[in-house]
Structure formats: structure tokens, C-alpha cells
């Protein structure tokens, strides 16, 4: 089946080793060479934050197979007959001669490797801070294994009491866990008005609450100005609003695809800024493939090419390239921008389009925010999850889901992933025969309840309004009744300022207190009782009634709580 005899793979972290190993399984006779700039190959880069927390005890664990064998160059040679050159950098591709120029970073010597098929798995580079003091000691990144080892060594020195994490994204927040666990006083600074900017505001607010409860200071909407040093080591971070003392700074504000080599070889770069590939992961040169963080992918909801670097995607792409580079035929249709992480003890994530993304893409959408339990509510360790669905208003097609909570959120995101991949609508989602037993779920899983609430909205049975919209009305001085239908003791425990309290059980007798000519926005703990209240009010001649999506559980703004 295979004709290619010489396969060169540039990049040895995720997509590269996967492509090489799969190519070997597809073609026992090919000569396969993998070139890696760094000292390590085939490691679980996504595990680095857990090295900081100590949950993973040594870097070796990230470089070992499940059986405990270290994935060294010798492992690849002996076990898979793949030649691995570490500390070698590919510096130029000669497409006519089908050669890659490779520089030995130890000796400085350059050689040329011949290829029949070339695989670019050159990854991405972390954005470097372009700020005064960026070169100070203990201003660190977390982009490769060496970074992780530097961070751990600094923390182990015992001198780090206070840290500032710059950026409100995935790597920062995953690492905060480790810092908090080690007793380091931690602050997060980011420029946008929320952390986890790629999620909607309410979801970012869930992560923020979790961090603040865990003692982490969160400064959003602040711009970094400088890193301040003392004797060559960082001692503070200066933003446009404050100075934060710090013995260490973690700077992790996103990555950029490594495209220099491809660009210089004249390969097409996509609009997303990453290397352009077709469904077979071929670049504009049919003998060159690209996979992993350096390549672009197709977003399966929008159909657009986009940049979604992820370790899981790199592995899948690597496998497809391994098949195709050896004469086989496989495709990688695309991704859904899936992003999940743990923020202290919170599970949070997204798949498909957020509300922000869907509106930016011009979709006419409906959204719901529905809290629920991850297990039967009577089961001892049942915990809350909040799900937010985004659907096309006309067709009911599911466009995306986000979730946050101390319960099992990622499980629901995975179900949404499957539904989105196949273009499902929320009607099908509502009747999904999910696994049910009290330790694993509810008779009506929260994702099913969310789909049902969406159905109610799409069919006009219920009119909801999102907390963000309600806040906007409040801020604009809107003339409406903000009706809390919870019980007196729930209200006393915690409430939203400026609300009117009429417990659902007393709504019928006290209905006269409400004006019929004003908009009424009801809510309760999760807005289930509020939905019932809306129906009662409607049945009694109130026309302009809505419930607030997700109730108190989804309210991302100020609350007044009982003291003590």
C-alpha cells in the first residue's frame, strides 16, 4: 500500500511522535526520522500544571508510557525503529530537492535529511511579555518541560510567598491550583473584563467566584505595565491600577503557531495564522503534512478554518498524518473548540459556540442557563452544575454548550460534543437515553432539563432573560419588577439588591401587590419556581412576565449575604 520510503517528522512532542508511531505501524519498512529541538520527546505537556501542584510527582511521569517506560530516543529506536534526533532544529526545507536542513544545537553542525514525505509538527510558541522587567529572575512561562522544571525549582526553593499570574486563560488557571495548594498567596491579572475570556461572562464569573473563595485575588480589566525588580529578581507587578507584590510571575497569555519554517518554504498559511491543511492534513505541498499546534483546523459548527491548538487534537491529527504519509487514506474533519479545565475545585468548560461567538458569527440564537445536580439529588455527593446552551432560534440546532460547577461538568460537555459533531438539535438532545443510576446521574439529567427549557423557550411556552441582560436593564435604570419568589429564609441568607420578595407559595394571595402594566422578571434559586410563578401570573392576566435564566445560581454580580 505504501510507496513512501523516507519519512521525516519535524517536532517530537505530541503530533510528531503520534504520526511517526502510526506511520511505523502502517509501514514496517519505511525509514522514519523524527527531529526535535528540545531534550525531551513525546511528553504530556498538558500535565505540566500538575507537576506544579505536586499531583504529578516527577517530570518523568509525563514522559513515560502507562507501563512506566520512559519515551526516550532509545525507546523509539528499539521499540519502533524510529530514529530520533534531539537537540536538532530544522532550519530550512528545500521542497525541490526534498530535503530538510537540520542543525545540531550542541555542535552547531548542519546536515540535510532526504524525505519522500515530510511531517510538520513544529508546535506553537508562548507569547513573550514585551514589558519592562520581563527579563527579571522569576518572571516565568510554562510552555515546555524546561519551563515547568524551572517553575518547580523556584517553588521548591521556599522563597516564593507571593505569585502573580498574568492572563486569565487555561494554563494560568490550571497552574493557580498548584500555587494555592503550595500555600503561595496568588493573584490573577488579566486585561479583559472576565477571566476565561473565551467563555461567556456568567461562566467566567463562576470561575472568578471559585478563585476568590479559594483566597486568590482576581483583577480583571487591568493592563500590565511593568515587572519591578530588586537585585535582579522580580518583586512586584505594576498594572494601570495597582502594584502587586510578587516573588514570582507566571506569564501565560496564549500561544502562536510556529510557521516560520513553513512560510520560508512557501507553504500556504491560513487566515487563522496557522499552516493551512486540507481534510487529509496535507499542506499546499502534497508531500508535506502538518499536524498539531502549528496547523489550523476546521470548526465543525461554523465550517470556518480556525486555530484551536490542543494536545488531544494534536494526537488525533498525528494519527491521521501517520496513515496518509504511508499511502493510506484518512481524514480529520475538525474540532469544536472544546476547552475544559479545573479551576481549584470547579469543573468548567465549553464546546461549540458561546453566546458571544454565536452572535459575532451572526447567528439568530436563543440561550438558556440551567442549574441542576450531577447525580440524583438525594445521592450523598451530588453536586451542582450550571449548563448554558446556545441554539439556533429557527431550527433549534444546538450551537454550543458551556458548563461550570463542582459536580461532573465535563461529562455533559462530552455529550454535547457528540451531539454537536453530528449536528443535532435540542429536541433530540431532550430525549437522549443517558445512563441513569443515582450514583451517576438524575432521572432527568441536567443536560436534558436544559434542552427542555430551551424547547419551552423556542416554542414560546416560556420567556426567559439572561442575568447579563437583567443587569443591563438595572444599570440603565429600567422600570421593571425584579421578583424573587424564594422563601423568606433563602432571601435572608443571600439576595440580589433591589429585588421584591414574594415567595411562590404566597404569590396567589399577594398578586395584587404587583403592577399589571410593568415588566416582571422572576427568579428563584435556579428559576424552576420562577417558571411556575410566570405561568401563574400569565394565567392571571399579567402579560409581560419573564423568568431570569438560572436564578441565583447563575447570577454573576453582587449579592447581599447575611453577616456572620
Residues 363-422 that bind a second copy (CB under 8 A): 373, 376-380, 408, 410-411, 413-415, 417-419, 421-422
Task: State which residue, 79 or 221, has the beta carbon closest to a second copy.
Answer: 79
DSSP annotation string for 421-490: HTT-BHHHHHT------TTT--SS-HHHHHHHHHHHHHTTS--EE-HHHHHHHHHTT--EEEEE-S-HHH
Site for a second copy in 322-351 (CB under 8 A): 332-342, 347, 349, 351
Contacts of 43 (CB under 8 A, 6+ apart): 13, 59, 62, 63, 71, 145
Kindly report the CA angle at 472 between 373 and 531, in degrees rounded to 5? 40
Cell triple for 127: 507569547
**CB nearer a second copy, residue 110 or residue 312:** 312
Q: In the range 507-536, which residues lie near a second copy by CB under 8 A?
A: 525, 531-532, 535-536
Minimal distance, residue 96 CB to a second copy, in Å: 33
Collapse the DSSP code of 346 into the 3-class scheme (helix H, G, I; strand E, B; otherwise coil) and give the result.
strand
CB of residue 423 vs a second copy: minimum separation in angstroms?
Answer: 8
Q: Does 538 bind a second copy (CB under 8 A)?
A: yes
Q: How far apart are CA 123 and CA 269, in angstroms?
A: 14
CB atoms within 10 A of CB 112: 12
The yes or no reply on residue 505 touching a second copy (CB under 8 A) is yes
Residue number, 253 or 299, with CB nearest to a second copy: 299
**Distance between CA 129 and CA 328 in Å, rounded?**
43
Residue of 39, 77, 78, 243 that binds a second copy (CB under 8 A): 78
Q: Which stretch binds a second copy (CB under 8 A): 24-32, 258-266, 283-291, 545-553?
A: 24-32
Answer for which of 3, 111, 156, 431 binds a second copy (CB under 8 A) is 431
Cell of 461: 411556552
Please, which residue, 121 or 300, has the CB nearer to a second copy? Answer: 300
Which helix (H) or strand (E) covers residue 534, if one does? helix 528-539
Stretch that binds a second copy, among 59-67, 192-200, 224-232, 491-499 (CB under 8 A): 59-67
* Residue of 59, 23, 58 whose CA lies nearest to 42: 59
Residues 183-212 that bind a second copy (CB under 8 A): none
Shortest Cβ 374–a second copy spacing (Å): 11
Is 437 a residue that touches a second copy (CB under 8 A)?
yes
- Nearest-approach distance from CB 70 to a second copy, in angstroms: 12
> According to the binding rule CB under 8 A, does residue 67 interact with a second copy?
yes
Q: Residue 257 or residue 349: which is nearer to a second copy going by CB?
A: 349
Task: State the number of binding residues for a second copy (CB under 8 A).
Answer: 91
Nearer to a second copy, 433 or 558 (CB): 433
Considering the complex, state which of residue 338 and residue 499 has its C-beta at the smaller distance from a second copy.
Answer: 338
Q: Which residues contact 105 (CB under 8 A, 6 or more apart)?
A: 37, 87, 88, 89
Residue 389: how many CB atoms within 10 A of its CB?
27
Specify whether the backbone of 143 is left (phi greater than 0), alpha (psi in -120 to 50) or beta: alpha
The correct pick among 3, 25, 273, 479 for binding a second copy (CB under 8 A) is 25
Find the binding residues for a second copy in span 153-182 (CB under 8 A). 174
- For a second copy, which is the closer residue by CB, 269 or 432? 432
Rounded Cα distance between 535 and 74, Å, is: 70
Q: Which residue has the cell 503561595?
A: 184
Does residue 326 come out as left (phi exceeding 0), alpha (psi in the -120 to 50 range) or beta? Answer: alpha
Is position 539 an interface residue for a second copy (rule: CB under 8 A)?
Answer: yes
**Which residue from 9, 10, 26, 34 is in contact with a second copy, where contact means CB under 8 A?**
26
Q: Shortest approach of a second copy to residue 320 CB, angstroms? A: 8
Alpha helices in 34-102 (DSSP H): 48-52, 59-62, 73-80
Residue 434 contacts a second copy per CB under 8 A: yes
- Cα(86)–Cα(89) distance, rounded to whole angstroms? 8
Query: Longest C-alpha distance within the chain, in Å?
Result: 88
Q: How far is the CB of 330 from a second copy (least distance, A)?
A: 8
Does residue 254 belong to the site contacting a second copy (CB under 8 A)? no
**DSSP letters of 392-427?**
ETTT-BEEEEEEEESS--HHHHHHHHHHHHTT-BHH
Q: Which among 46, 206, 235, 534 is annotated as catalytic?
A: 46
Options 344, 424, 473, 511; binder of a second copy; rule CB under 8 A: 424
Instruction: Give the position of cell 454550543.
Output: 400
Residue 118 or 398 having the CB closest to a second copy:
398
Minimum CB separation of residue 78 from a second copy in Å reads: 7
The smaller minimum CB distance to a second copy, of residues 182 and 471, is found at 182
Residues 434, 448 contacting (CB under 8 angstroms): yes
Residues 273-332 that bind a second copy (CB under 8 A): 300, 310-316, 319-320, 332
Alpha-carbon span 506 to 531, nearest angstrom = 15
Residues 32-51 close enough to bind a second copy by CB under 8 A: 44, 46-47, 50
Minimum CB distance to a second copy, residue 487 (Å): 9
- Does residue 440 bind a second copy (CB under 8 A)? yes
**Residue whose C-alpha is closest to residue 475's, from 497, 491, 493:** 497
26 tagged catalytic: no
Site for a second copy in 444-473 (CB under 8 A): 444-445, 448, 452, 461
> By CB under 8 A, is residue 255 in contact with a second copy?
no
CA distance 195 to 208: 7
Active site residues: 46
Amino acid at each position: 500500500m505504501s510507496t513512501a520510503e523516507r519519512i521525516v517528522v519535524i517536532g517530537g512532542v505530541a503530533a510528531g511522535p503520534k504520526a511517526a508511531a502510526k506511520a511505523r505501524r502502517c509501514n514496517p519498512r519505511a525509514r522514519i526520522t523524527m527531529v526535535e529541538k528540545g531534550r525531551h520527546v513525546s511528553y504530556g505537556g498538558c500535565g505540566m500544571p500538575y507537576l506544579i501542584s505536586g499531583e504529578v510527582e516527577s517530570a518523568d511521569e509525563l514522559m513515560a508510557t502507562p507501563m512506566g517506560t520512559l519515551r526516550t530516543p532509545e525507546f523509539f529506536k528499539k521499540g519502533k525503529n524510529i530514529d530520533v534526533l534531539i537537540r536538532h532544529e530544522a532550519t530550512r526545507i528545500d521542497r525541490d530537492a526534498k530535503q530538510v536542513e537540520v542543525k545540531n544545537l550542541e555542535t552547531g553542525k548542519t546536515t540535510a535529511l532526504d524525505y519522500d514525505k515530510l511531517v510538520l509538527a513544529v508546535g506553537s510558541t508562548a507569547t513573550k511579555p514585551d514589558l519592562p522587567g520581563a527579563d527579571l529572575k522569576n518572571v516565568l512561562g510554562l510552555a515546555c518541560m524546561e519551563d515547568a522544571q524551572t517553575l518547580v525549582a523556584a517553588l521548591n526553593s521556599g522563597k516564593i510567598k507571593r505569585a502573580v499570574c498574568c492572563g486569565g486563560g487555561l494554563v494560568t488557571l490550571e497552574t493557580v491550583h498548584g500555587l494555592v495548594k503550595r500555600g503561595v498567596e496568588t493573584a490573577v491579572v488579566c486585561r479583559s473584563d472576565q477571566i476565561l475570556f473565551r467563555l461567556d461572562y456568567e461562566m467566567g464569573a463562576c470561575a472568578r467566584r471559585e478563585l476568590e473563595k479559594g483566597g486568590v485575588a482576581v483583577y480583571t480589566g487591568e493592563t500590565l505595565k511593568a515587572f519591578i525588580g530588586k537585585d535582579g529578581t522580580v518583586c512586584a507587578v505594576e498594572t494601570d491600577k495597582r502594584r502587586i507584590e510578587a516573588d514570582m510571575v507566571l506569564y501565560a497569555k496564549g500561544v502562536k503557531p510556529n510557521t516560520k519554517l513553513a512560510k520560508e518554504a512557501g507553504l500556504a498559511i491560513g487566515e487563522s495564522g496557522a499552516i493551512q491543511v486540507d481534510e487529509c492534513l496535507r499542506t499546499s505541498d502534497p508531500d508535506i503534512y502538518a499536524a498539531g499546534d502549528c496547523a489550523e483546523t476546521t470548526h465543525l459548527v461554523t465550517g470556518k478554518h480556525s486555530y484551536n491548538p490542543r494536545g488531544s487534537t494534536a494526537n488525533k491529527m498525528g494519527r491521521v498524518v501517520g496513515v496518509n504519509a504511508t499511502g493510506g487514506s484518512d481524514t480529520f474533519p475538525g474540532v469544536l473548540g472544546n476547552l475544559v479545565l479545573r479551576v481549584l475545585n470547579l469543573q468548567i468548560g465549553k464546546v461549540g459556540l458561546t453566546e458571544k461567538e454565536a452572535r459575532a458569527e451572526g447567528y439568530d440564537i436563543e440561550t438558556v442557563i440551567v442549574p441542576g445536580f450531577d447525580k440524583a439529588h438525594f445521592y450523598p455527593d451530588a453536586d451542582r452544575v450550571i449548563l448554558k446552551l446556545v441554539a439556533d432560534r429557527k431550527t433549534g440546532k444546538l450551537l454550543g454548550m458551556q458548563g461550570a460547577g463542582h459536580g461532573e461538568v465535563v461529562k455533559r460537555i462530552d455529550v454535547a460534543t457528540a451531539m454537536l459533531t453530528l449536528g443535532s438539535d435540542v429536541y433530540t438532545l431532550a430525549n437522549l437515553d443517558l445512563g441513569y443510576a443515582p450514583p451517576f446521574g438524575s432521572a432527568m439529567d441536567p443536560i436534558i432539563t436544559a434542552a427542555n427549557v430551551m424547547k419551552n423557550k423556542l416554542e414560546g411556552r416560556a420567556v426567559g432573560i439572561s442575568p447579563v441582560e437583567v443587569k443591563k436593564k438595572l444599570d440603565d435604570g429600567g422600570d421593571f419588577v425584579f421578583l424573587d419568589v424564594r422563601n423568606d429564609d433563602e432571601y435572608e441568607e443571600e439576595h440580589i439588591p433591589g429585588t421584591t420578595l414574594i415567595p411562590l407559595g404566597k404569590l396567589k394571595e399577594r398578586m395584587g401587590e404587583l403592577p399589571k402594566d410593568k415588566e416582571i422578571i422572576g427568579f428563584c434559586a435556579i428559576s424552576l419556581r420562577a417558571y411556575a410563578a410566570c405561568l401563574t401570573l400569565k394565567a392571571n392576566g399579567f402579560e409581560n412576565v419573564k423568568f431570569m435564566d438560572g436564578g441565583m445560581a447563575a447570577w454573576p454580580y453582587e449579592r447581599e449575604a447575611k453577616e456572620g
